[in-house]
DNA sequence: GTTTTATCTGAACATATGTTCAGATAGCAT
DNA sequence: ATGCTATCTGAACATATGTTCAGATAAAAC
């Protein structure tokens, strides 16, 4: 039965996810034990199994949640008319969304190999769906002559790799604001696909 | 004493490195046991310790070797005169070098967090040295007006992220040759830094 | 106040881990 | 042939792992 009133346990689930995401990002899935997660949450290892059937499901749930958040946030935006504005919107969205979720991005990127075959397939489908949004933008722009790229599929992957690369160096509180980073990357993206 | 003649043990060292690199790339450092490595090499776990003092040194040796190979291969090229040719040379070199070393690139990128603090610092220094080569090219090009980027440091990291991203999708035997991939990326790089 | 229910503890289980080391093995020089 | 040396085996050690579960705890429902 679902809890209807506030109690300390109502926050244990989210807390486990937060702690696990941070630890997985920091040390990697295989290097983090259930006891470490439990210890950081402030609980014994056995208690974790009230919230996840096993360690693998914990990782999968984190990655699936992240990808669904990404797709939902993307879908919530209304798309501009012309291709150029669409690409700018995608660029700024991608950077802003990923910058404030460094841990989730890192985990979703690095721990694909730690997923079971079935879970991997599920995550890959979600990732593909996101990539397709960018490729659609590029394809349409190429059609109308606004963009020119040698290969839309490769350009898609190249741009996403470049944009996600922000996470390797950006640290909150650095010399650049999110908007400044967005603008810097948009400048390069715009030119990279220019005719 | 160093071996002077051929014997089966002369190839055990390299074999361990090959196997370890492949397994680390496939499953991650923490997820691979010394017994798995030994088993793939065709030897008992204890025998590995004739070639490495411990697991951490094995990983570090692989990463250090890769970074030194990279810097050596880079240094062996003679640099063209003008900035544009230098950037093209760097782009093609980076792609070609990284494409034929997928496992080493993957490990050197993903397992930084598995290194001890001291080993991490060493690898980071080597990586920085490589990045600086690209940044020098960009800086000089910006000076002479051949390139225009918002920030040479960020542009460096953005381009390297984009180029290294090739490894996430390229598979030998695919529809594109190395030269074709080089050209596709060079087209985007050239435009991304164009004035 | 009593029952019910969700949650947590603490110990246990079977297995896996990195590493060590005495002794076996086999190629080398003499 | 004999001694030497590098290498490998196989067992052992101490510890860590994911997971389970009977029983404690405490809040909610009646």
Amino acid B7: pLDDT: 42
Query: Which residues of B fall within a CB distance of 8 Å from A191?
Result: 191-194
The pLDDT mean for chain B works out to 93
What's the pLDDT at A162? Answer: 96
How much is the pLDDT for B6? Answer: 33
Predicted local confidence at residue B10, as pLDDT = 72
Residue-by-residue DSSP string for A146-159: S---S-HHHHHHHH
Per residue in A51-88, pLDDT (tens digit) is 999 999 999 999 999 999 999 999 999 999 999 999 99
In angstroms, the CA A9 to CA B155 distance is 47
Q: If you compute the radius of gyration of chain A from its CA atoms, what whole number of angstroms results?
A: 19
Q: CB of A184 within 8 A of CB of A191?
A: no
Q: Which residues 111-130 on chain A approach chain B with CB closer than 8 angstroms?
A: 113-114
Over 50: is that where the pLDDT of B165 sits?
Answer: yes
Which nucleotide's C1' sits nearest to the alpha carbon of B51? D7
Q: How far out from the chain centre does Cα B44 lie?
A: 30
Statement: residue A1 has pLDDT above 50? no
Strand C proximity list, CB < 7 Å:
A 1, 3, 8-9, 12, 38, 42-47, 50-51; B 4-8, 32-36, 45-46, 49, 53-56
**B110:A114 CB<8 A:** no
* Contact call for residues A194 and A147 (beta carbons, < 8 A): yes
C-alpha span between B121 and B115 (Å, rounded):
9
| Mean pLDDT to the nearest integer, B168-175 | 91
Question: How far is A41 from A136, CA to CA, in rounded Å?
Answer: 42
Number of Cβ pairs < 8 A linking chain A and chain B: 96
Instruction: Outline where chain A has alpha helix (H).
Output: 12-27, 34-41, 55-76, 83-99, 102-110, 117-143, 152-164, 166-169, 178-192
What is the 8-class DSSP label of residue B81? S
Q: What is the pLDDT of residue A6?
A: 33
Mean pLDDT of B46-52: 95
Residue of B nearest to A189 (CA): B192
Round and report the angstrom distance from CA (A139) to C1' (D19). 50
List of chain B residues whose C-beta atoms are within 8 Å of the C-beta of residue A183: 150
| pLDDT the model gives residue B173 | 87
Q: Which domains does chain A have, with CATH numbers?
A: 1-52 (1.10.10.60), 55-193 (1.10.357.10)
**B contacts of A189 (beta carbons < 8 Å):** 192
pLDDT tens per residue, range A8-53: 447 888 999 999 999 999 999 999 999 999 999 999 999 999 999 9
Q: Across residues B61-71, what is the average pLDDT? A: 98
pLDDT-above-90 percentage for chain B: 92
Question: Is strand D less than 7 A from the beta carbon of B39?
Answer: no
Nearest to B154 among A27, A155, A184 (CB): A184
pLDDT in tens, B114-161: 999 999 999 999 999 999 999 999 999 999 999 999 999 999 999 999
Here the tokens at position B8 are 């089966």
């Amino acid at each position: 039965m679902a809890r209807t009133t506030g109690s300390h346990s109502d926050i244990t689930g989210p807390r486990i996810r937060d702690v696990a995401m941070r630890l997985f990002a920091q040390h990697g899935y295989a290097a983090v034990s259930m006891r470490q997660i439990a210890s950081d949450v402030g609980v014994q290892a056995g208690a974790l199994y009230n919230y996840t059937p096993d360690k693998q499901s914990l990782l999968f749930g984190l990655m699936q949640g992240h990808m669904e958040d990404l797709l939902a946030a993307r879908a919530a935006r209304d798309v501009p008319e012309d291709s150029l504005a669409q690409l700018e919107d995608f660029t700024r969205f991608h950077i802003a969304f990923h910058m404030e979720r460094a841990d989730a991005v890192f985990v979703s990127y690095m721990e694909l190999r730690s997923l079971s075959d079935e879970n991997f397939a599920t995550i890959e489908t979600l990732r593909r769906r996101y990539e397709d949004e960018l490729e659609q933008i590029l394809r349409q722009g190429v059609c109308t002559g606004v963009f020119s790229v040698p290969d839309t599929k490769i350009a898609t992957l190249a741009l996403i790799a470049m944009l996600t690369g922000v996470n390797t160096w950006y640290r909150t509180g650095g010399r650049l604001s999110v908007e400044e980073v967005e603008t810097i990357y948009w400048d390069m993206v715009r030119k990279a696909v220019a005719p």
